[in-house]
Amino acid sequence: MTTLREYLDSTSCEEKLKDLIELVSDQAIPIRKAFISNQEYVDSENIYGEKQIALDKWSNEHLMKTFRESKLVKEAASEEEAEVVEFPDAEASYAVTIDPLDGSSLVQVNLAVGTIVGVYEKSVMEEGRNLKAAFYMLYGPLTVLGLTVREGVHFFALNEENEYVMTQKDVRIPEGKLYASGALKRDWLPEHQRFIEYLEKEGYKLRYSGSFVADVHQYLKYGGVFSYPAYRGKETGKLRLLFEANPMGFIVSEAGGRISDGKKNLLEIRPEKLDHRIPIYVGSKGIIEKMENEYDIEV
């Protein structure tokens, strides 16, 4: 079976980028080990006013330490940090975004959560289409890595020796029939509501877990449209452009799918600020194009 390193060596990736991808994806091992002793909520909130569990903080601090020691990262932005963190001693210039633990409200109920990573050439304040690499580690029954270095999307899983081996090459998202929408139904805006009614009428099946990374992994495999829309009271939506939308949307797009803010390709949007939030529609190409063409989704 092809290992992660063997796969990376078969690509046109720079050596330092290969090292960075391997190093960060290996942090799934200590992060998983930390689950058992970091379950409880702590007395702090992140910059979005969301309660943190100890594992959010632990994963963030662990990944920041990994970046600092690696000397491969010049700047890092995290969902759990208010500012960009600079590493002046770095010998490479990569700029990295992380959602250290996406879906963390599910940790206490033992459902799948993950780490989302985006790598840019020099700055994190870039359009998603400029990502050099994007990947996620999904902590489910298996530890799965979904990766793109702009040469297709590939899945790997950690084996008994804690080595990533390829489980699916050249993932292509099918035109499947799953759907999901975040936010309270009573707060959905009219065009979004109309779109969801269309999906239900067409026989789309509801699948929503509360973990974006786990949901998008499922949609990559089976197809359909996952959404977290603009809603009454929060017209920006909930999810974050830099940490969630761009890396996951880039992976889906590399697999032949699409990500949209409801009107246009979200990967073309330049971030206005670190905590830029954005409505998200991500999944199979056909249904997202239909939505953009036939629904006047509120953005």
Residues that bind ligand AHM (CB under 6 A): 50, 79, 99, 102-105, 182, 210-212, 228, 238
Residue 260: strand, helix, or coil: strand
| Residue 211 binding target from Mg ion, ligand AHM, none, CB below 5 to 8 Å by type | ligand AHM
Alpha carbons 183 and 204: distance in angstroms, whole number: 18
- Site stretch for Mg ion (CB under 5 A), options 19-27, 52-60, 94-102, 128-136: 94-102
Burial category of 260 from C-beta neighbours within 10 Å (exposed 0-12, middle 13-18, buried 19 and up) = buried
- Among the listed ranges 43-51, 95-103, 229-237, 282-290, the one in contact with Mg ion (CB under 5 A) is 95-103
Pick 105 or 159: Cβ nearer ligand AHM: 105
DSSP track, 79-146: TT-SSPEE-TT-SS-EEEEEEEEETGGGGGGT--EEEEEEEESS-SSS-GGG-SEEEEEEESSSEEEE
**Between residues 75 and 102, which has the closer beta carbon with respect to Mg ion?**
102
Token pair of 200 as six digits = 């239900």
Burial of 295 (0-12, 13-18, 19+ CB in 10 A): middle
Q: Which is nearer to ligand AHM, 74 or 238 (CB)?
A: 238
Residue closer to ligand AHM by CB (options 8, 183) is 183
In the list 102, 126, 191, 261, the residue contacting Mg ion (rule: CB under 5 A) is 102
Partner interacting with residue 224 (select from Mg ion, ligand AHM, none; CB below 5-8 Å by kind): none
Interface residue with Mg ion among 75, 80, 99, 292 (CB under 5 A) is: 99
Distance CA 18, CA 234 (A): 39
CB atoms near residue 160 (< 10 Å):
5
Residue 210 contact partner, candidates Mg ion, ligand AHM, none, CB within 5 to 8 A by sort of partner: ligand AHM
Q: Which residues bind Mg ion (CB under 5 A)?
A: 99, 102
